[in-house]
Amino acid sequence: MPRILLLLPTTTYRTEAFIGAAQRLGVDVTIGSEKPNTLTKLNPTALLTLRFDDPAQAARQAAEFSAKHPIDAVVAADSQAVAVGAAISELLGLRHNSVASSAQAENKHRMRRAFEQAGVPSPEYRLCLLDDERRALADRTEYPCVIKPLALSGSQGVIRVDTAEEFIQAVGRLEIILKRADDAPPASGNCGNDGAQSQVGSPESSRQFLVEKFISGPEVALEGMLTRGELRMLALFDKPDPLNGPFFEETIYVTPSLLAAEVQEEITRCAAQAARALGLTEGPIHAELRLAEDGPVVIEVNARSIGGLCSRALRFGTGMSLEELIIRHALEKDFELPNRQSQATGVMMIPTARAGRLIEVRGLDEAKAVSGIEDVAISAHMGQWLVPLPEGSQYLGFIFGQADSPQAVEAALRESHSRLEIVIQPTVGRTREDDCTSPAEWSKKDG
Ligand code: ADP
Ligand code: CA
Mean pLDDT for back-to-back runs of 10 residues, the chain (447 residues): 94 92 96 80 82 95 97 94 96 96 95 98 98 96 98 95 98 95 61 48 77 98 98 98 96 98 98 98 98 97 96 97 98 97 97 94 98 97 94 91 98 98 81 41 35
Helix ranges restricted to H, 158-258:
164-183
Identify whether residues 70 and 114 lie together within a single domain: no
146, 156, 237, best to mutate for ligand 1 pocket (most atoms within 8 Å of CB): 146
> What is the span of the domain harbouring residue 147?
105-213
Identify whether residues 200 and 112 lie together within a single domain: yes
166 located within any domain: yes
Which class for 345: exposed (0-12), middle (13-18), buried (19 or more C-beta within 10 A)?
buried
Please give the distance, rounded to the nearest whole angstrom, from the Cα atom of residue 291 to the centre of ligand 1.
13
Identify whether residues 8 and 52 lie together within a single domain: yes
Question: Residue 125: which CATH number?
Answer: 3.30.1490.20
**Closest ligand 1 atom number to CA of residue 302:** 2
Decide the pairing of beta strands 283-292 and 252-255. unpaired
134 located within any domain: yes
Which pLDDT score, from 0 to 100, does residue 199 have? 40
Which pLDDT score, from 0 to 100, does residue 200 have? 43
312 located within any domain: no
Identify whether residues 67 and 156 lie together within a single domain: no
**Closest ligand 1 atom number to CA of residue 219:** 16
**Closest ligand 1 atom number to CA of residue 155:** 3
Identify whether residues 92 and 155 lie together within a single domain: no
Give nearest CA residue, ligand 1 atom 10.
155
The last residue of one of the domains, among 167, 186, 213, is: 213
The CA-based angle 378-382-387, given to 5 degrees, is 80
Please give the distance, rounded to the nearest whole angstrom, from the Cα atom of residue 153 to the centre of ligand 2.
6
200 located within any domain: yes
Which pLDDT score, from 0 to 100, does residue 159 have? 98
What's the rounded Cα separation, in Å, for the pair 142 and 161? 10
What's the rounded Cα separation, in Å, for the pair 340 and 145? 36
323 located within any domain: no
Please give the distance, rounded to the nearest whole angstrom, from the Cα atom of residue 303 to the centre of ligand 1.
16
Please give the distance, rounded to the nearest whole angstrom, from the Cα atom of residue 124 to the centre of ligand 1.
13
Residue environment code for 321-340, b if the CB has 16+ CB neighbours within 10 A, otherwise e:
bbbbbbbbbbbeeeeebbeb
What's the rounded Cα separation, in Å, for the pair 107 and 436? 28
Identify whether residues 175 and 125 lie together within a single domain: yes
Identify whether residues 109 and 41 lie together within a single domain: no
How many helical (H) and strand (E) elements, i.e. helices and strands, does the chain have? Answer: 12, 19
Which pLDDT score, from 0 to 100, does residue 45 have? 81
Which pLDDT score, from 0 to 100, does residue 182 have? 83
121 located within any domain: yes
Identify whether residues 89 and 112 lie together within a single domain: no
129 located within any domain: yes
Identify whether residues 49 and 141 lie together within a single domain: no
DSSP 335: P
Identify whether residues 109 and 176 lie together within a single domain: yes
Question: Residue 57: which CATH number?
Answer: 3.40.50.20
191 located within any domain: yes
Identify whether residues 114 and 206 lie together within a single domain: yes
Give the sign of the dihedral formed by CA 32, CA 33, CA 36, CA 37: negative
Give residue ranges with CB within 6 A of ligand 1: 123, 146, 148, 152-156, 158, 192-193, 212-215, 219, 243, 248, 288, 290, 299-300
Identify whether residues 29 and 54 lie together within a single domain: yes
| Domain count of the fold of the chain | 2
What's the rounded Cα separation, in Å, for the pair 246 and 402? 30
Give nearest CA residue, ligand 1 atom 22.
214
Give nearest CA residue, ligand 1 atom 23.
214
What's the rounded Cα separation, in Å, for the pair 266 and 260? 10
The last residue of one of the domains, among 96, 123, 151, is: 96
Give nearest CA residue, ligand 1 atom 5.
155
